Structure 1
Amino acid sequence: MAIKSRALLRMLLVPAAVALAACSTQATTDTAGTAPAQAEGRHPVSGLEVTDLTVTSGGQVHRFRVEVAATPQDQARGLMFRTAMGADEGMIFPLQQVRMASFWMRNTVIPLDIIFIGPDNRILNIAAMTTPYSEEPIPSIAPAKAVLEINGGRAEQLGIAPGDLVEW
């Protein structure tokens, strides 16, 4: 009898749990299919802190809202599995110590510009339009303090180049 009662209870609770899950809030997307950064300072897809970042290039200041991949776990995941990102969005990877850095595109769906930033906050080098899903290492040309990822081709579009100043 107790087994039948448990089975009946499970039959009643599972649909209730599904109904509750269907009522949970979901991040909305804009017309480009990207989830916009929320005002609270957290990205609706990753849950990471979002901060302002600027790149000063040839007297022009380019403004981005970037997710901060601060922990080793966040950095390991990066932008994997994302299918879209806003034109002025990106992800910053502050490194725990200045070092030679190398990235890859494993499980990364969209092409990226990978921008290596030196200890003086100047761009060291840019790996432009990286190949989605590639496991080829993409290295910095000198020790880096951070790495910035933005949409592939965006650096060229904006005239961002090595030597430009990055601040966040």
Structure 2
Amino acid sequence: MIGGKAALVLVAVLGVGAAGVAVQQGVFSGPPAAIAAKRTLAVTITGAQGAHVFDVERATTSAEQARGLMYRTDLKPDGGMLFWPYPPEGGAPRVANFWMKNTPTPLDILFIRADGTIATIAENTVPFSEAPVSSREPIAAVLELVGGRTADLGIAEGDRVAWAK
């Protein structure tokens, strides 16, 4: 509690994917639920099995994208994190490499092309692994979901991903 109000402290990190070194600290006032509500959006994935909507957090800055879902154990089945734009500083799509360092929950990492289709899915990535997980081609966004959700819902490479831009 800071001054009688709940506060959320964010430690920003820089690096490739979820890698990095702590470089700054910021404090955001207000209840954590209200802060999170401002940072989420609906993402719809449509494929052969139909459409499914996820309510995901947004990672739009270099610091947010570097931290990703590190240290998180509170992930919801229809939650996750959207890294968009990727890279956050703009520019053309590029090959992305993520890792699972400091991430205790297995994730499905969906690498999304500029046209909104899924290029690659890394399913059930290994918690705490420092092995790179590559998009294998230039991408414009990345969606991280709880490990196993893509298989459960029949989500596949080539399926379409959409959100309000």
Task: Answer 1 or 2: which has greater helix percent.
Answer: 1
Scaled to the shorter chain, the TM-score interval is 0.7 to 0.9
Distance 1:148 1:62 in 2: 14
Unaligned ranges ≥5, structure 2: 9-31
Q: Which residue of 2 aligns with 1:43?
A: 36
Distance 2:2 2:97 in 1: 40
The 5 Å alignment of 1:88-167 reads 88-94=78-84, 95=86, 96-97=90-91, 98-167=93-162
Report if the CA contact (8 A) 2:116-2:160 is conserved. yes
Distance 1:23 1:86 in 2: 29
**Letter of the structure 1 residue corresponding to residue 117 of structure 2:** R
Q: Which residue of 2 aligns with 1:32?
A: none
Distance 1:26 1:58 in 2: 43
Note if 1:61 corresponds to 2:54.
no
**Letter of the structure 2 residue corresponding to residue 49 of structure 1:** R
Deviations 1:15-61 (A, max 9, x none): xxxxx65964489xxxxxxxxx95x5x417xxx61011000011611
**Letter of the structure 1 residue corresponding to residue 100 of structure 2:** M
Task: Give the CA deviation at 1:163.
Answer: 0.3
**Letter of the structure 1 residue corresponding to residue 83 of structure 2:** F
CA RMSD of aligned residues (A): 2.2
Q: Which has the higher contact order (CA 8 A, sep 6+)?
A: 2
Report if the CA contact (8 A) 1:84-1:110 is conserved. no
TM-score relative to the length of structure 2: 0.75
User: Following TM superposition, where does structure 1 have runs of at least 4 consecutive aligned residues deviating by more than 2 angstroms?
Assistant: 20-27
Distance 1:164 1:69 in 2: 22
Unaligned ranges ≥5, structure 1: 1-19, 28-36
Distance 1:58 1:78 in 2: 29
Report if the CA contact (8 A) 2:49-2:155 is conserved. no
TM-score relative to the length of structure 1: 0.74
Task: Give the CA deviation at 1:82.
Answer: 0.4
Task: Answer 1 or 2: which has greater strand percent.
Answer: 2
Distance 2:66 2:140 in 1: 16
Report if the CA contact (8 A) 2:49-2:153 is conserved. no
Distance 1:143 1:132 in 2: 25
Question: Which structure's CA Rg is the greater one?
Answer: 1
Task: Give the CA deviation at 1:84.
Answer: 2.5
Distance 1:131 1:22 in 2: 40
Distance 2:48 2:136 in 1: 22
**What percent identity do the matched residue pairs reach?**
44
Task: Give the CA deviation at 1:70.
Answer: 0.2
